[in-house]
Structure 1
Amino acid sequence: MNAAGGPPVTSTQVQLFAVLDPEGTTVAALARHMGVTRQTAHQAVHGLVSAGLLEQIPDPASARQRLIRRTPAGERAHHQAERLLQDLEGQLAARIGHDAVNALRATLEAPWGPAPTPAPPPTSAPTPTT
């Protein structure tokens, strides 16, 4: 994306874009889909909001929640990324064959089960006093 003139994004932000529902998704749902903590998802969202690629809107189903969705600039970046991935896939197919690429896609798109639950942060043991 950087080489194509797109905004710089982290791997977490790329993953977020991949699981984002076009109508909007809560941060909690994004975290679950990504298998990360809410804090990690929130940080990724904040960076993409600051970059003008995402926006927060009120959730019509809940007055307390907000939905995260792409802005028009975010839609353009998403479509640009899709085109780049299609180009890369075409290059890969030219090297290993369309059948191998299709098998790879089927393997990667197979259900992997639920996302792993993030481990809670380690707690420090109390220091004995003498």
Structure 2
Amino acid sequence: MATPARNLPQLLTEAKRWFDDALLASMRAAGEQPVTVGQAAVFAALDEGGTTVSELARRMGVTRQTAHQAVHVLIGMRMLEQTSDPASARSRLIRPTAEGARVHRRAQDTLAVIEGVLTERIGADAVDALRRALTAPMGEPPLVEAP
């Protein structure tokens, strides 16, 4: 019996895991504090001026409790801090500390090198086509009936 072809969500998940594994291993090898994929995702979802935990959760596609847990571990690592939200007395903003900003810049630089490795392996045309395809507007997710 032949193995069924992997669908696009499976392929995209595997590609994301490849990047995550390369980034986290490279950062650990460089002597940075180890973080999880979920904790790294917090940095990708942060605005420069700060972001609420609720907004982080929405952007990350996780529950507020999951985002809150990741944020508080990173606060304990002194990579994030909480500040008052000037727009709402009830809200707190999460933003990187100087150390968190330094680590995030290093991670961004590391990702650029990892993308370069991918370009060497599959070619610039393939990477450019992949970027174009993934940034093309897809519209709202469709609601389809099961066949």
How do residues 29-48 of structure 1 correspond to structure 2 at under 5 angstroms? 29-48=55-74
Q: 2:124 aligns with which of 98, 106, 119?
A: 98
Q: How many residues align?
A: 115
Q: 1:65 aligns with which of 71, 91, 97?
A: 91
Separation in 2, partners of 1:92, 1:81: 16
Tell which has more relative contact order, 1 or 2 (C-alpha 8 A, sep 6+): 1
Aligned to 2:51: 25
Structure 2 portions without partners, runs of 5+: 1-26, 142-147
Aligned to 2:81: 55
How do residues 115-126 of structure 1 correspond to structure 2 at under 5 angstroms? none
CA deviations 1:66-94 (Å, max 9, x no partner) are 00001000111001101111111111111
Once superposed, which parts of structure 1, at least 4 consecutive aligned residues long, lie more than 4 Å away? 110-115
Separation in 2, partners of 1:85, 1:64: 36
Measured at CA, do residues 113 and 9 of structure 1 come closer, stay the same or move farther in structure 2, by a change above 3 Å?
Answer: farther
Report how far residue 113 of structure 1 moved.
Answer: 6.6
Structure in which a larger fraction of residues adopt helix? 2
Counterpart of 1:96, as a letter, is I
Measured at CA, do residues 81 and 113 of structure 1 come closer, stay the same or move farther in structure 2, by a change above 3 Å?
Answer: farther
SS at match of 2:28: coil
Report how far residue 3 of structure 1 moved.
Answer: 1.2
TM-score by length of 2: 0.72
Q: CA RMSD in A?
A: 1.8
Separation in 1, partners of 2:46, 2:140: 17
Separation in 2, partners of 1:47, 1:4: 21
Structure 1 portions without partners, runs of 5+: 116-130
How do residues 5-16 of structure 1 correspond to structure 2 at under 5 angstroms? 5-16=31-42
Q: Is the deviation greater in 8-17 or in 22-31? A: 8-17
TM-score by length of 1: 0.81
Report how far residue 25 of structure 1 moved.
Answer: 0.2
